[in-house]
Amino acid sequence: MTPAKKWLVGVERPRHGGDVWGRGDIIDFSCSLNPLGPPSEIASFIMNDLDKVSRYPDDSCSLLKSELSTFIGVADD
């Protein structure tokens, strides 16, 4: 494959965030990573609902709408 521009031949491909094996003294803000890791409470939550990980979330947010409408005191339609 011939590059569009000859000067691209020696250019190193950029690496996108999440380089956990890279330099530890630089915080990578190019992606949403938490340098502290997940909260300890989240592990049990994930393990209890591991069977649901492969499902898409409810794109109509039915439960959220219902809970918010109850909290605000309006109909959920």
**Which residues have CB under 8 Å from 75's CB, separation 6+?**
69
Q: Rounded distance, CA 28 to CA 22, Å?
A: 10
Residue 39 confidence (pLDDT): 84
How distant, in Å, are the alpha carbons of 5, 35, 47, 63, 70 from that of 44?
A: 52, 20, 5, 22, 28
Q: Rounded distance, CA 32 to CA 52, Å?
A: 22
pLDDT digits (tens, 9 = 90+) for 26-72: 666 677 767 777 888 888 888 888 888 788 888 889 999 999 999 99
Residue 42 confidence (pLDDT): 86
Q: Rounded distance, CA 70 to CA 62, Å?
A: 12
Residue 17 confidence (pLDDT): 59
Residue 47 confidence (pLDDT): 86
Give the highest mean pLDDT range of 7-11, 21-25, 35-39, 65-69. 65-69
